[in-house]
Each structure stands twice: as structure tokens, then as C-alpha cells.
Amino acid sequence: MTVETDFIVIGSGIAGLRAALELAAAGARVTVLTKERASESNTEYAQGGVAVALSEDDEVSLHEDDTLSAGAGLCDEEAVRVLVEDGRRYMQELIEWGAEFDREGGELLFTQEAAHSRRRILHAGGDATGHEIVRSLLARSGQQVRIQFVTHAATERLLVEDGHCRGVLYLDPLVRARRELRAWAVVLASGGTGQLYLHTTNPAVATGDGMAMAYGAGAELADMEFVQFHPTALNVADAPRFLLSEAMRGEGGVLRNEDGRRFMPRYHERAELAPRDIVSRSIVAEMERTATRTVYLDMTALAARYLRRRFPKIYDTCLRYGLDITREPVPVSPAAHYIMGGVRTDLDGRTTLPGLYAAGEVACTGVHGANRLASNSLLEGLVFGARAGRAIVADAARQPRATGGTTPAAVAAVASVTDDEETTASGEIVLAVRKRVRRLMWERVGILRSRQSLERALREFDQIAGAKLRAPSRNFLTVATLIARAALWREESRGAHHRVDFPKTDDTNWRVHSIQREGAEISGSETVDFESAESPALT
């Protein structure tokens, strides 16, 4: 039998949960598929906070200007305006729903981060902002009987019929069989691509599957060359690349080299508060200059009591590895953190594939341009997750469908779909493929790029593609290839994309977005958003 729900949401981070809540509020049945437990997402690990112009000395126009400046000339201005204006409304709503952000004297406490002209960053639990947001949204979702979660269910493919996305193929965790789930529309909120790199701050679920599935189904992707590397990830042997929040530098932390000398003022006038791409490249340059593999983040000028209260999770994690941030500088180096590119959408989450919507890091609205402004990602997921949900409700109302089918509780009973790839590819081959791709991405498609390094990576990706791969590994390789191709195509340096053979920014020829579609050459577009008199889902 065929099991149906009204709408499918892939991913349970801030974008997916907010979209699901919007859909359920309209009376729809929503099935949320998650690769791991419901709370496991990039949102859960977000420390830095949420940027929003809510303080008395701030204005949305200033937040807009800061975002445009960080985006290195490639932000879509209308998308940025939507982000900063709608962000105020949706953040206030989130607070009303029970999200508890840090306060001082009963008033919201705003902090400073790099490239922001005002103290506009809201935190929760000092450095546990993402955890608190997920907690509050999951609590809200739990009150909605029309939202069903199917956890540990890896989505492998989008189902497309007559040019419309009509559902998904996913792996049932209980019986290890593939299942079909059908719906009127699918929302991709599957997160980013950090795990494609050898060193990353992202959790294990950030493998780019949503982008690969959208590409394979015929949707367009944009700006895949722009990958942001966070400057300060913990750099200790046998320790994960734990993120040391941007807020640490915003609160007065300084970067020092192996000799204990502060070096950022030599690289940029804003020193440690320069945009992330500049800080990351400066760290790489300083490590090369000093022939070392690390630099140090020094917080010791701040009071120990304040640091323990302001950064409790970071303090405890560093202590676990024998480092006391109140007494000694902490070894750090850059790590892959966020991708500005993704599935091309309009301002309401509609993709170029009818029936498919996207929000959050998997999507590319043009908000971030070539380099995301710190702490704008959570706000983007909240705003565009809600907007995608609203758009789906409006689109469905203009093209109603029968709502028959089984109840969401019957999802696990759908007939399995066989696939010989699952039984023929060994776990050892899968592990070897991922290990090789991750190292190539770090060494050849990383912070510093060149034609030679990118072409070499692509040649090796082509060789790997000739093997018989399971769907997750095929998706993994597809996204790596898309990033490398876009990086080779863009013959300039802009934002997070730096070509050592084209070190200058070229506005005359390259102030365009890269657009990729399966079976077509990469093309340039002045906007990420695409023109549509009506919803693409109705064409």
C-alpha cells in the first residue's frame, strides 16, 4: 500500500521545526524525518547566538548594512531585508513560545560579535543557544498532534512524478528496508555540508544529502563555492574540532602566534573582529609564517568568574582536554563550518522543482552572499522556515488535493523498496570513500584554492564515482563535486572563496551567483531568487 501524509519535512533543526509548526497550525498532517534523534542538528550545536535588531540602540537598517558588508557584494538585498525585518517578529514569537535567552536585570542581554556594528547577539545559557532553541521548538512541536517524528530515518532520494516532487525514499531504521512516503510537498531542511571536510565543527549528520537529492531530482543549486571556515576550532590531538564561539573574540579574546605575539592587527584594521574569512586566512598565513599548525585564543585578560558564567559549555569542554581558558591561551585553527550556497529558492522557500521547498543551511536565498555574517544563520532558519511553511499552505490552497491515505502513524508500514546497492557495497568501501573525499576537500578545495588543486580534486572524484556506491556515499561525493566545480568556475576571490591564482575581487565579470543544474554547464545569475508570477509548485 501507499502511505501518505500532507507534507514531509526533512530535518529537525530550527528551519525544519519552524516550517513544521507553521504547517501544523494550518491543520495539516506533517511527518518530520530525521537522520538521527530529533534534537540532533547543526542548530543543537550553535553557540554564538542569534543576531536580531531588538535592542534600543539598534535598527534593522544597521543589521541590514552589516549583513551586506559581510556578504562581499553578493547578498541579495531583498532577501537581507526580509531577514532583518521579519527576524524581529519571529524572534519575539519564539520568546513568547518559551525560549529563554540570557537576561540582565530582567532585560534581554545583547552581546558583540565580529563584523556587527552593534551589540545585537542574543544567547541562551551563555554558549548553549542552539540547544535552547531546539528545546523550545521541540516542546512546541510536542503540543501539535498533527506533527509526527520518524527518527533515525535517512532520506536517500526525492520522488518526482510528472515534474513534481511527490515524496521521499528513506531507510526505515527498524527493519533496514527502504520505504516510500508520499505527500503534496516536501520541505528540505537537512542542514549543511561540514562533514565533507577533514576538519569541521559540524555534527556527523551534516553530510549535504539534501543538496545532492535536490540536484539529482532536477532542482537548481547556487553559490556552492562559498564555504565558510570558522577561524577558531579547538586544535588538540584526539579531540573533536569543538567550536570556540565567535563571541569569545567579541568579548575581548585575542589571537596569538606560537611566540605569544598578537598578530591580527597586522592583517586587518578590525583585528580579531574582522569578517570570518579574513580571520581564517590570516590564521593560515600566520601558521605558514611561523611554520606551526596552530595559533592560540587568549581569554586570560577577562575575569575567570565571568568566563565561566559567559562560556560554561566551552569552559567545561576545554577543561575536559586539560585546558583552562581562564588561565592559559587555547590552541585553535580553522575548520569547515557553514556553506552559503545550497538549493536555490525564492524568498518563500520555493525551489525550481515544483513541490519541493527548502529552508535553512540547505537552501540558498542569497541572504549570506559570499560570506555569512556571524549569528545570522539561526535567524535565517527561523525566518525562512516560517515563510516556507506559509507559502506551502497558500500554494496548496490554490491547488487542493484529496487528503486520503493513511494516518501519519502508519508511515512505518509502507512497502519496502529493494535496492541491490545496499547489499553489494561493503561498509569498508563506504568508509574509505568518505575518508578520501574529506581529505581531498580539505587539501584541495579548502581555505586556499587554485586551478591546479581543484582540477586534481575533480579528477579523483571522477575516479571514485566509477565505483559502485551506496546512496549516502553517492550523495556525499556529488556535493563535494558540486563545490569543487563551482570553485573552479569562479576565477576571482570573493568572501569565503579564495583563489591564490585569482587573488582579486572582480566585480566587472564575477558579481554573479553560480547556478548548477544536472546535465547543464555552470552559469551565472545576478540574483539567486528567480522570477515567477505564480508559485513554481503550480506550474
Residues 464-484 as b or e (16 or more Cβ within 10 Å = b): beeeebbbbbbbbbbbbbbbb
Active site residue 276: yes
Would you say 181 and 5 are in contact if contact means Cβ atoms under 8 Å apart?
A: yes
440 three-class SS = helix
CA–centroid distance for 186 within its chain: 18
For the chain, the straight-line distance linking the first and the last C-alpha, in angstroms and rounded, comes to: 29
Burial class (CB in 10 A: 0-12, 13-18, 19+), 518: middle
**DSSP assignments along 187-210, one per residue:** EE-----GGGSSSBSS-TT-S-HH
**DSSP assignments along 443-463, one per residue:** HHSSSSB-HHHHHHHHHHHHH
Question: In sequence order, which residues have a C-beta less than 8 Å from that of residue 423 and are 6 or more positions away?
Answer: none
**Count of C-beta atoms within a 10 Å radius of residue 121:** 24
d(CA 407, CA 397): 21
**Count of C-beta atoms within a 10 Å radius of residue 342:** 32
d(CA 76, CA 527): 6
Place of cell 505527500: 183
Q: What letter would DSSP give residue 143?
A: T
CA distances in angstroms from 184 to 164, 166, 171, 250, listed in the order given: 9, 6, 20, 45
d(CA 47, CA 194): 16
Q: How many residues does the structure list for the chain? A: 539
Question: In sequence order, which residues have a C-beta less than 8 Å from that of residue 61 and are 6 or more positions away?
Answer: none
Catalytic residue among 146, 157, 249, 276: 276
HEC profile for 367-426? CCCCCCCCCCHHHHHHHHHHHHHHHHHHHHHHCCCCCCCCCHHHHHHCCEECCHHHHHCC
Place of cell 516536501: 186
Active-site residues, by number, are 276
